[in-house]
Amino acid sequence: MTERVLTFYLSGSLCGIDIAVAKEINKNVDYTPVPNSFDHVVGLLNLRGQIVTLVDLAQLLHFKETSEKRKSHCIILKKNAMHPDQVGFFIDKMGDVIDVASDMYQTAPANIGDVEDGFINKVVKLKDEVVLMLNLSKILKME
């Protein structure tokens, strides 16, 4: 069985999520900052009448800042019962949509940060890179 994975770069790391949880990808979004909110909340976006909370996923994951300009692309997630609010997060740049067979998944090594928190639950080795598979339900629960 294969799964479609949406890949993207976040602070220089190649990350991936199940494409089924992504609603859309936007470029150069115009959002409103929220004063006195949590540090990881970037702002609010009015997306065709729906209010979307935009978060800084790199900050939530404690990824180090890179010189690449962030906030150029935004992934909006589908609503679900676990997180009924509309949520999106900024990325550095898009990767590809890849097909991943179930036997390609490996347990994330313990030396990768955020493994013990469950934010990165598995990895996929590609030819030249490793994809860190993010556990969005766990990440967004802490948000």
So where are the chain's domains? 2-142
Radius of gyration (C-alpha) of the chain in whole angstroms: 15
CATH 2.40.50.180 is held by the domain 2-142: yes
Instruction: For residue 131, give both structure tokens.
Output: 């994809």
Q: 47-102 pLDDT, tens per residue?
A: 988 899 999 888 888 887 655 555 678 999 987 766 667 899 999 999 999 999 99
DSSP 32: B
Q: What is the pLDDT of residue 113?
A: 57
Instruction: For residue 40, give both structure tokens.
Output: 């990881």
Q: 8-53 pLDDT, tens per residue?
A: 999 889 999 999 999 999 998 889 999 998 888 999 999 988 899 9
Burial of residue 115 (number of CB atoms within 10 Å: 0-12, 13-18, 19+) = middle
Does the pLDDT at position 137 exceed 60? yes
Q: 97-136 pLDDT, tens per residue?
A: 999 999 999 988 776 655 456 788 899 999 999 999 998 8
pTM of the model: 0.85
